Amino acid sequence: MKSAIVLFPGINRESDMARALEMASGRAPEIVWHKETELPDVDLIVIPGGFSYGDYLRCGAIAARSPIMRDVVAKAEAGVTTLGVCNGFQVLTETGLLPGALMRNADLKFVCRDVHLRVETTGTRFTGGYEEGQVIRVPVAHGDGNYFADEDTLDRLEGDGRVVFRYCDADGNAGSRANPNGSVRDIAGILNARGNVLGLMPHPEDHIEPAQGSTDGFGIFMSVVAALETA
């Protein structure tokens, strides 16, 4: 599997992401600078976490208008597998590739802690390696992860099986105490209609080795590799 990481100024989790991609696929990802206008020929496009442009406007808003993004959007719309994590998820919503928006956390504070996620569907190229309903532990680290969309959009996401991850407790129960940011319906990650673009706030790339306290996040990368290499 060939992958590319899109790098905007202020992105800061690119090395964490590169490590996860290399461990899963055996190949180091290409790093594509935001001033480029064309992506290399890859199977997976990744927008990692960080503070693109300092998050000085709405998170992800400036990055979404970077030169490289025209090609990212075109390739994603043409079906290339695309993953946005944290700031990357915010960028994807700002481009319109994913519906909804990420608002300031409900308690207005940055939060870094391990959370539990329930895998709501295994029928995606990002989650094929998990069990349906499996609870995984991965960290969050964000100030603006409060997912919001209107009721119709939410109903459509749920109806289409596009809510991929939901915040829950260790036993798999969703509810306000397990939700770190106030996201509507405890949504942590969603898919686009075509099923090739995933955005999520938590950082699976930081839970891939026992040294990090958990390897639960590695399943996403292994799932993508399995889906793309057998495709």
Partner 1 sequence: MIPNDIKITPELVAEHGLKPDEYQRVLDLIGREPTFTELGIFSAMWNEHCSYKSSKLWLKTLPVEGPQVIQGPGENAGIVDIGDGLAVAFKMESHNHPSFIEPYQGATTGVGGILRDVFTMGARPIAALNALRFGDPEHPKTRHLVAGVVAGIGGYGNSFGVPTVGGEVNFHPRYNGNILVNAFAAGIIRTDSIFYAAASGVGNPIVYLGSKTGRDGIHGATMASAEFGGDAEEKRPTVQVGDPFSEKLLLEACLELMKTDAVIAIQDMGAAGLTCSAVEMGAKGGLGVELDLDHVPCREEAMTAYEMMLSESQERMLMVLRPGKEAIARAIFEKWDLDFAIIGKTIEPKRFIVKRHGDVMADLPIMELGDEAPVYDRPWVPTAPAAPIDPADIPLPASIADTLMTLMGSPDLCSRRWIWEQYDHLILGNTHQRPGGDAAVVRVEEGPKGLAFTLDVTPRYCEADPVEGGKQAVAEAWRNLTAVGATPLAVTDCLNFGSPERPEIMGQLVGCITGMAEACTALAFPVVSGNVSLYNETSGEAILPTPAIGGVGLLDDFTRSASIAFKADGEAILLFGETRGHLGRSIYLREIQGREDGPPPPVDLAVEKRHGDFVRRLITQDRVSAVHDCADGGLIVTLAEMALAGDRGAEISAIPGELPAHAALFGEDQARYVVTCPAETADQLLADAEKVGVPAMRLGTTGGATLTISGHDPIYLETLRSCHEGWIPDYMADWIED
Of 106, 111, 222, 226, the one binding partner 1 (CB under 8 A) is 111
Query: Please, what is the minimum distance in Å from the beta carbon of residue 73 to partner 1?
Result: 23
Q: Is 77 a catalytic residue?
A: no
Residue 107 region, left (φ>0) first, then alpha (ψ -120 to 50), else beta? Answer: alpha
Of 2, 36, 128, 143, the one binding partner 1 (CB under 8 A) is 143
Of 29, 129, 139, 189, the one binding partner 1 (CB under 8 A) is 139
What distance in Å separates the CA atoms of residue 55 and residue 76, rounded to the nearest whole number? 24
Angle at 59 between CA 58 and CA 63, to 5 degrees: 100
Indicate the residue among 39 and 141 with the shorter CB distance to partner 1.
141
What distance in Å separates the CA atoms of residue 144 and residue 162, rounded to the nearest whole number? 21
Of 122, 153, 212, 214, the one binding partner 1 (CB under 8 A) is 212
Residue 125: which residues within 8 A CB-CB, separation 6 or more? 81, 195, 196, 223, 224, 227, 228
Query: Please, what is the minimum distance in Å from the beta carbon of residue 129 to partner 1?
Result: 20
Of 3, 4, 6, 16, the one binding partner 1 (CB under 8 A) is 16
Q: Which amino acid is at 230?
A: T
Q: Is 158 a catalytic residue?
A: no
Of 24, 25, 32, 53, the one binding partner 1 (CB under 8 A) is 53
Binding residues with partner 1: total (CB under 8 A):
32
Catalytic residue among 86, 94, 116, 168: 86
Task: Count the Cβ atoms, other than its own, within 10 Å of residue 87.
Answer: 28
Which residues on adjacent β-strands are paired with residue 168?
116
Nearest Cα neighbor of 128 from 24, 37, 222 is 222
Catalytic residue among 34, 116, 203, 207: 203
What are the two backbone dihedrals, phi and then psi, of residue 152, each rounded to the nearest 5 degrees?
A: -60, -45
Query: Please, what is the minimum distance in Å from the beta carbon of residue 49 to partner 1?
Result: 8
Q: Is 116 a catalytic residue?
A: no
Query: Please, what is the minimum distance in Å from the beta carbon of residue 214 to partner 1?
Result: 11
Interface of this chain with partner 1, residues 149 to 188, rule: CB under 8 A:
none
DSSP 94: H
**50 burial level (CB within 10 Å; 0-12, 13-18, 19+):** buried
The residues annotated as belonging to the active site are 86, 203, 205
Binding site for partner 1 (CB under 8 A): 9-10, 12-13, 15-16, 19, 33, 35, 50-51, 53-56, 109-113, 139, 141, 143, 203, 205-206, 208-213
